[in-house]
Amino acid sequence: MLGNLKIISGSSHKKFALDICEHMACELSPIETVFFSNQNMLVKILDNVREEDVFVIQSSCPPVSDNIMETFLLLDALKHSSAARVTAVLPYYPYVRSDKKDQPRISIAAKLMARLLQTAGADRFLLMELHSHQIQGFFDVPVDQLLAVDVFCNYLKKQDLSDFVIVAADVGEAKHLGRYANRLNLPMAIIDKRRMGNSDTVIPTHLIGDVEDKHALIIDDEVASAGTLCKAADFLKENGARTIRAAVVHPVLSGNALEKINSSSLDELIVTNTIPLDEKTNICKKITVLSVAPIFAKAIQRIHNGDSVSVLL
């Protein structure tokens, strides 16, 4: 029999954890993280967690390596503190794009992360929008993957969707795009693109579908340097799109991504708060942030109660 539910947050995105707690009408359990002069780290759980059902919330954002290490130490501390069950809640999974061996002599880092997190003490995982669904197969424990499609669609349904067309940022996104097309009853188009080596440089080459004099809505799971997204927006504008919006789940927005977006053909970038964005939204007014804390709160409560999570998908 599991004990009380406890929620613990790492340093990466405490505001997100507090939002979840607010929706669940509970308190965030305190921890202490100390950095020593030799760059080692100490993590201490300040509450008694013996025989409790504990959820650790940590997202993958800068400083990525420090946040990963803090997650390992949190999980290990909970394991050695006799927590009954520990669920790692990772809104944005670390190294999620390194999910296959598509070149010689490289690591499949997403699988390595799964093995390390389980070894550290995670009994199950709660994630959102993995880059590929196959990543769930890297784990030997239960994994629940949440989707942001309803969050985006509920926002979009408040607008006039006349003459809208949903656009897949690449061929691989086409299947995922169907969820949006069905919910919004909109036509689809697909951008065919080519990636240049290991860089973030991607060149759109062909367009499958019609965007002439339409409002284009690009769907993708992640935006990092924003080079691909901005090139896609410019490509759609060249092909006659009237306006261009994008709905992207994970707003990594690294390097000079904000400057690219500000100067691009993109009219609006709709993202979720799986990664902290407060400072970036001040720089780029095109960004609209939607909260996925409510769906995480519902999922955590259902996992704790032993109820199905699939009803949230």
pLDDT at 73: 98
| Stated pTM of the model | 0.94
Task: Delimit the CATH 3.40.50.2020 region(s) of the chain.
Answer: 5-147+293-312, 149-290
Provide the β-strand partners of residue 191.
207
CATH number of 5-147+293-312: 3.40.50.2020
* Distance in angstroms (rounded) separating the CA atoms of residues 313 and 308: 10
pLDDT at 197: 58
Q: Closest Cα to residue 83, out of 129, 124, 116?
A: 124
Q: 136-153 burial string, b = 16+ CB within 10 Å, else e?
A: eebbeeebbbbbbbebbe
**Which residues are designated catalytic?**
193
pLDDT at 195: 65
CATH topology for the 149-290 domain: Rossmann fold (3.40.50)
- Mean pLDDT by runs of 10 across the 313 residues of the chain is 90 98 96 96 97 98 97 98 98 96 94 98 97 92 96 95 91 79 93 66 81 96 92 94 97 95 96 93 93 98 96 87
* Distance in angstroms (rounded) separating the CA atoms of residues 37 and 237: 52
pLDDT at 119: 98
pLDDT at 112: 97
